[in-house]
Chain A
């Protein structure tokens, strides 16, 4: 299989911070906003370099979304940053009315997404956000897998006209994609070509899928690994082509079982290429306190569970 090297664990939110700074340097219309979370969102570099284009909104997320819409309509490109739960579930109606229906060029930047937020527990660990944002007409949903990809995605969305939901996380995780990559919105990324099963993974689970690929190879199973960095619009052509080739599919995501990547891909395949599909997700439950590694294991989101799911999918061919 294709080898990937971890250049050192890094948090994806720092990739966002680095990308935001670059986007700010390239485009004078980029504005950053946060609801009292500069440090958590790693916005320091932007704030220091472009204080006149930074708006501190205080602990008032609903107002931040509306103000961002006003800035966007008047020609700015606002990036609003908070914890994933507080810029989705807490402000769903504001996003629906002001950003999505209002077709405002707002970039909703969500850190601490999923269960790997860890010790803070379920109040802060959203595993429903992809479903919420996917349901909105016109909303682009992006969930990059590591620091480098998050940085590239952040820079790419600055150049895209329209509402975007960008999801990333808190803990340090392997950084293994190219530092020079150019992020293409809406394009699935082939990580490893294989023949027996396809593992579609998104976010932190792409690295786990690559580890699972290694385990499967040792058992003589050839797995294709595809990074679904853009969940909406989904690269349906790539999904169907791979499923047609391998005839068995696993979908792996740090999200609950409803409305995320798994149901999305199963839905696409049901219409055009019925294929056995297995899900790796957080199930129908809330998170809890623990270290990211403990939680990933307990919720079945690690490489070992992905490898088992792959074998099960193959057995159903």
Chain B
């Protein structure tokens, strides 16, 4: 099996997990989880240097990932479990009382794999900058990754952090924007108007790479190119062009599934479109 076929199979199972978790919890955020599932699968299963067996929250000796768009816990938890950070079965406790799988990522409940809490939007890039500076202070070569939504780029703090990262020369920092064009109240262009993201990030001093966030070859090439930029003194952002709800026809391309759980019938309909590749939890 090719590497890309392997990634495609993982992503299909991750999407099944997302749909099932949100359906069972009767709440959660499937839309952005599905739009980011492919490139986050590539990140966790190919690109990132990490080892669930030796993971520690300080991230020493490994790459670090911060999910700034903290509501995307369905995709995040599925990937962490499928990588081996905790039992896959535990995905069934998502959003339940007493679960380590809180609605938004928490460090207080001790779920392995999570470096920092998130959920109040616009803050993860700043935390990622802190990790990146720390790694430079320690002369550690590893990379810090962070993922934001495109709607999230309406938060002012993103641009404080963007300016800061470039000014600090954080070329060990790779940001991803899940560029799905949708936010809670509708299309990003209509609701908040982040405008020309490529021009904005460039103007803030970043190297900008754009790619199809559902094409694994393009995704892997984008990450390789981003890593190749290390040493030139600039942070890199990859704008991942994606579809909200990608993988399930009735969820795709609309903001309506941002934070809504499917009914059992809708869940069954969605699962019929997603191949079970690694076994459901």
Contacts and interface: CB of A to CB of B under 8 A. Distances in A.
A97 B128 contact: no
Interface in A195-241: none
Interface stretch (B30-38, B46-54, B118-126): B118-126
Contact of A62 (B57, B126, B168): B126
A75 B123 contact: no
Given A57-B164, A58-B164, A97-B117, A73 B126 contact: no
B203 to A, nearest CB: 16
Contacts of B135: 74
Interface string A39-77: 000000000000011010110101111111111111110
Contact of A74 (B60, B106, B156, B157): B60
Interface in B139-167: 156-157, 160-161, 163-164, 167
Given A57-B164, A58-B164, A72 B120 contact: no
Given A60-B160, A66-B161, A72 B123 contact: no
Interface of A is mostly: helix
Contacts of B137: 31, 52-53, 76
B116 A73 contact: yes
Given A60-B160, A98-B116, A71 B130 contact: yes
Contacts of B128: 70
A93 B126 contact: no
Contacts of B236: none
Interface residues on A, range: 20 to 34
B107 A75 contact: no
A94 interface: yes
A70 B126 contact: yes
A289 interface: no
Nearest to A74: B134
Contact of A102 (B116, B131, B133, B157): B116
A70 B127 contact: yes
Given A66-B157, A76-B137, A58 B127 contact: no
A286 interface: no
Contacts of A160: none
A96 B108 CA distance: 13
B116 A69 contact: yes
B59 interface: yes
A192 interface: no
A104 to B, nearest CB: 8
B187 to A, nearest CB: 26
Contacts of A94: 120, 123, 126, 157
Contact of B120 (A58, A75, A93): A93
Contact of B118 (A53, A71, A97, A104): A97
B58 interface: yes
Given A62-B160, A63-B161, A73-B57, A68 B130 contact: yes
Nearest to B64: A74
Contacts of A97: 117-120, 123
Contacts of A76: 134, 137
Interface of A: 31, 52-53, 55, 57-58, 60, 62-76, 78, 93-94, 96-98, 101-104
9 contacts: A55-B133, A58-B163, A65-B126, A67-B127, A67-B164, A70-B116, A78-B130, A97-B123, A102-B127
User: Which 6 residue pairs are nearest across A and B when measured between Cβ atoms?
Assistant: A70-B130, A66-B126, A63-B160, A60-B160, A74-B134, A67-B130
Given A62-B126, A73-B130, A102-B127, 14 more contacts: A57-B164, A60-B163, A62-B123, A63-B157, A63-B164, A65-B126, A66-B127, A70-B134, A71-B130, A71-B134, A72-B130, A101-B106, A103-B107, A103-B108
